[in-house]
Chains A and B, each alone.
Chain A
Amino acid sequence: MWIRALPKHFLRLGLTILLGGLLGATLVRFAPGFGADERELDSRLSTQSIQVLRESHASQRNILGYYRGYLGGLLRGDLGISTSLERPVAELFAQRLPVTLRSVGMGVAGGWLLGFFLALPAGMFRWRNYEFLTASLSGLFLCLPAAVLGLAIVYAGGPAWVAIALVVFPRVFQYARNIFVQSSELPHVLAAHARGLRGVHIFIWHVLPNAAPLLLALGGISVSMAFGAAIPIEAISDHPGIGQLTWQAALSRDLPVLVNITLLITVITLAANSVSDLAGRALARQRP
Chain B
Amino acid sequence: MKKVRIFSIVFLAIIFSAVLLADVVAPAPYAKQFREAPNAAPSMKHWLGTDDLGRDALSRLLYGSRVSLLLAPAAALVSTLIAACIGGLAGYLGGWYERVALAATDLSLSLPWLFLLLTVRALLPLNVAPLTSVTITFALLGVLGWSSSGRIICSGARAIREADFVLQAKALGCSPRRLFYRQVLPNLKPVLSAQFWTSIPIFIIAEANLGILGLGVAEPLPSWGNLLRGLENWPEVKASPWKLAPVVLLIAVVSCFQLVFQRREEIAS
Contact = CB atoms under 8 A, between A and B. Distances in A.
B201 A143 contact: yes
Contacts of A143: 201, 204-205, 247, 250-251, 254
Nearest to B163: A186
A221 B149 contact: yes
Contacts of B259: 132, 135
Q: Is the interface of B mostly helix, strand, loop or mixed?
A: helix
A175 B152 contact: yes
B205 A146 contact: yes
Interface stretch (A20-28, A76-84, A101-109, A192-200): A20-28
A132 B122 CA distance: 44
Contacts of A240: none
Interface residues of A, number: 65
A182 B229 CA distance: 37
Contacts of A284: 158-159, 162
B106 interface: yes
A93 B102 CA distance: 28
A170 B200 CA distance: 13
Interface stretch (B23-31, B35-43, B112-120): B112-120
A275 interface: no
B183 interface: no
A174 B231 CA distance: 25
B102 A273 contact: yes
B103 A151 contact: no
B199 to A, nearest CB: 10
Contacts of A175: 149, 152, 191, 194, 198
Interface in A133-190: 135-136, 139-140, 142-148, 151-152, 155, 170-171, 174-175, 177-179, 181-182, 185
Interface string B202-240: 101100110000000000000000001101101000000
A171 B228 CA distance: 20
A244 interface: no
A31 interface: yes
B148 A151 contact: no
B154 interface: yes
Contacts of B193: 178
A210 B158 CA distance: 12
A174 B197 contact: yes
Q: Which 9 A-B pairs have the closest CB atoms?
A: A178-B190, A31-B115, A32-B122, A217-B155, A128-B1, A266-B110, A27-B115, A139-B255, A182-B190
Interface of A: 12, 16, 19-20, 23-24, 27-28, 30-33, 128-129, 131-132, 135-136, 139-140, 142-148, 151-152, 155, 170-171, 174-175, 177-179, 181-182, 185, 210, 213-214, 216-218, 220-221, 224-225, 232, 236, 250, 258, 261-262, 265-266, 269-270, 273, 276-277, 280, 284
Given A174-B198, A270-B110, 9 more contacts: A24-B112, A30-B115, A139-B254, A143-B251, A178-B191, A213-B155, A213-B156, A258-B112, A284-B159
